Chain A
Amino acid sequence: MAIPLSYNLRNLTVRRRTTILTVLGIALAVAVLVADLSLASGLKSLFHASGNPLQILVLRIGSQSELASSISRAAYQDIEWKPGIARNAAGDPLVSLEMVTVVNLPSIDHPDGMNVTVRGLEPAGVSMRSVQILQGRWFHPGRREVVVGASVAKRYPGARLGKRLTFGGGFWDVVGVMKSSEPAFNSEIWGDLNEISQDYHRENQLNSVLIRAASTAAIPALIRSLNEDRQLNVRAVREPDYYASLTSAGSPVEFLGILVAVIMAVGSAFAAMNTMYAAIARRSKEIGTLRALGFSRGSILASFLAESLLLALCGGLAGCLLALPLNGVTTGIGSFTTFSEFTFRFHVGLEAILPGLAFALLVGAVGGILPARMAARKEILTALRDI
């Protein structure tokens, strides 16, 4: 049987000051990692919950985003009569030609302005999304009116209900605030397709076409039909897949966060190692005694490694606690794909906490293995004589 864990726990509390300092060091590294993973998790939930599984987004071939795409009205007219497209009660195909651009608006966090996506669409396009009006009303076709997403209204004071925005060729009245169960749309501004495209002199060069398939079974054939039509020169993807691909917007931040956490963890591992070496030097006689009582070298190694892991686990838990207040905090991130800002919430869930704790244990293992090995390799008499 092993040396009791209470032996290690009590030793950690006896040398309170070094324990607290080491725990804090590990906690900071873990907090950075958990915050980073919470950001990535929030961003993933933003995009992964967006897009209707029955819908297909059509972009120009080679385009990675709607903003970089270009679809002509002529191509749209060919697309809307493809077989396999769902129709509304009036028998019209559920297809939406859309224009996407970005405008620069001053936000609470960025008074110099951040890019926000503006989408021009027709009522059919609105009806194809799960959106509802929170405040005000929908824009009327033919008027210079816009409806803003809930996140935009929250983060951009100039884009609230009743305010007037300036972009394109003039002023736009904010007549409504919308909320969507597809979170990506909460970071957008919507207006009438014809008004917006005229303002930007792009009546014939729009960005994308959204199509609703008649059934799930019809989707593969419809995508194949669009992709193989050489005259259209388009790329069709399922709408959820398109939004999932936008998750890469957070990759640079995620990478940077992990890099910072790893650099901090190296320092923390050395701190843990230093703490454990000091503990072993101070408890050399105890190690000799335990060996003299019959505990094997393996038991000594396991005991001191367990102590280092306990120390790191305390750091991991403290780091998670430090990161916890971030849960639900709204932030925005600029995308290099759409050149606009997406608003989302940090999500400090198990997918961030569990890797954070595992990371802490790794720091503890790396920091503890060499000192524990040294303790286990001590000869009994040498250990007993050490002061």
Chain B
Amino acid sequence: MSETIVETRQLSKEYSRAEFRVTALKDANLRVSRGEFLALMGPSGSGKSTLLHLIAAMDRPTSGEIFVLGQNLRELTGREIAHWRSAHIGFIFQSFNLIPVLSALENVELPLRLTDLKKKERMEHAAVALKLVGLGDRLNHLPSQLSGGQEQRVAVARAIVTDPDLILADEPTGNLDSASGQEILTLLSRLNKEYAKTIVMVTHDPHAASFSSTVRHLEKGALLPETPTEAGQEGPVHAQACSN
């Protein structure tokens, strides 16, 4: 039986808006196994990003339990969460969220500053990660000197450079044209298939979801039953060589 990386039990999240209470997520029970590529799908406001943020410990649930790598996230203090997140989670944002004044190499090196690695080792690791995403020749470029697809590939390199147990991607192709989006999805698929990375991706795009091994739909904060995908049943149908 494969190891469970993420497990949520009756997980709920409510937000207060003036005198109103909005339920963003209700009684969600989710299990993600090591090596799984899960796509969370649903329309805007369905709670998919809320669930992702709860898994990343960027937000606290209103009720329910959430275990990531066996750790009950509710038990961690703010400082412990920051340390835990840097050690175990790689996050990919929809709008890349690179630091504009730092080069591609420095952006990727950032998470490694929270490790015990020496500067030379950090730079070497960051360069390897950038080469892995096909940007070995763009190490010293600033984000403004890169295309959207290249920026997102830098963000992917930043997410994998610490070799995290779990990669969380929030609409990673949402701000990209279809060709660049295809490159990023192929890259994520490669990371899952070739490097056995566990990935949870939020998307509203069925094409993007087709790269995952499992799809879970959300509607009005409720998590619907599991749907295996073509990729999950038959292997990486979309996997292809990643080009620059």
- Which A residues are within 8 Å of any B CB, using their own CB? 1-4, 6-7, 10-11, 14, 285-286, 288-298, 380-381, 384
Taking a contact as CB atoms under 8 Å apart, the answer to whether B99 and A292 are in contact is no
* B97, CB-defined interface residue at 8 Å: yes
Given A2-B113, A4-B106, CB of A294 within 8 Å of CB of B99: no
Interface size of B in residues (CB-CB distance below 8 Å): 26
Taking a contact as CB atoms under 8 Å apart, the answer to whether A14 and B101 are in contact is yes
Q: Which residues of B contact A381 (CB under 8 A)?
A: 53, 58-59
* B85, CB-defined interface residue at 8 Å: yes
Q: Which of B45-60 contact A (CB under 8 A)?
A: 53, 56, 58-59
Q: Which residues of B contact A298 (CB under 8 A)?
A: 79
Cα separation A32 to B101 with both chains bound (whole Å): 34
* Cβ-closest chain B residue relative to A2: B113
Taking a contact as CB atoms under 8 Å apart, the answer to whether A294 and B97 are in contact is no
Which one of A2, A286, A291 contacts B99 once the chains associate, using CB atoms below 8 Å? A286
Q: Which residues of B contact A295 (CB under 8 A)?
A: 82, 86, 114
* Cβ-closest chain B residue relative to A294: B86
Q: Which residues of B contact A384 (CB under 8 A)?
A: 93, 97
* Cβ-closest chain A residue relative to B85: A294
Taking a contact as CB atoms under 8 Å apart, the answer to whether B114 and A294 are in contact is yes
Q: Which residues of B contact A294 (CB under 8 A)?
A: 82-83, 85-87, 89, 111, 114
Taking a contact as CB atoms under 8 Å apart, the answer to whether A292 and B102 are in contact is no
Cα separation A384 to B52 with both chains bound (whole Å): 14
> When A and B form their complex, what is the total count of cross-chain residue pairs whose Cβ atoms lie within 8 Å?
72
Which one of B59, B97, B113 contacts A289 once the chains associate, using CB atoms below 8 Å? B97
Q: How far is the CB of B182 from chain A (nearest CB, A)?
A: 25
* B78, CB-defined interface residue at 8 Å: yes
Taking a contact as CB atoms under 8 Å apart, the answer to whether B106 and A293 are in contact is no
* B110, CB-defined interface residue at 8 Å: yes
Q: How far is the CB of B105 from chain A (nearest CB, A)?
A: 12
* Cβ-closest chain A residue relative to B155: A289
- Which B residues are within 8 Å of any A CB, using their own CB? 53, 56, 58-59, 78-79, 82-83, 85-87, 89, 91, 93, 95, 97, 99-102, 106, 110-111, 113-114, 158
Cα separation A14 to B142 with both chains bound (whole Å): 13
* Cβ-closest chain B residue relative to A380: B58
Which one of B78, B89, B97, B101 contacts A285 once the chains associate, using CB atoms below 8 Å? B97
Taking a contact as CB atoms under 8 Å apart, the answer to whether B102 and A1 are in contact is no
Cα separation A296 to B79 with both chains bound (whole Å): 6
Taking a contact as CB atoms under 8 Å apart, the answer to whether B85 and A292 are in contact is yes
Q: Which residues of A contact B95 (CB under 8 A)?
A: 285
Cα separation A70 to B87 with both chains bound (whole Å): 83
Taking a contact as CB atoms under 8 Å apart, the answer to whether A293 and B101 are in contact is no
Taking a contact as CB atoms under 8 Å apart, the answer to whether A292 and B58 are in contact is yes
Cα separation A10 to B56 with both chains bound (whole Å): 30
Q: Which residues of A contact B87 (CB under 8 A)?
A: 294
* Cβ-closest chain A residue relative to B53: A381
Cα separation A319 to B113 with both chains bound (whole Å): 35
Cα separation A6 to B105 with both chains bound (whole Å): 13
Cα separation A293 to B57 with both chains bound (whole Å): 11
Taking a contact as CB atoms under 8 Å apart, the answer to whether B101 and A10 are in contact is yes
Q: Which residues of A contact B85 (CB under 8 A)?
A: 292-294
Q: How far is the CB of B157 from chain A (nearest CB, A)?
A: 13
Cα separation A156 to B136 with both chains bound (whole Å): 74
Q: Which residues of A contact B53 (CB under 8 A)?
A: 381
**11 A–B contacts from the bound complex (CB under 8 Å):** A4-B102, A6-B106, A292-B56, A292-B93, A293-B85, A293-B91, A293-B114, A294-B89, A296-B78, A297-B78, A381-B58
Q: Which residues of B contact A1 (CB under 8 A)?
A: 113-114
Which one of A3, A289, A296 contacts B93 once the chains associate, using CB atoms below 8 Å? A289
Cα separation A384 to B87 with both chains bound (whole Å): 21
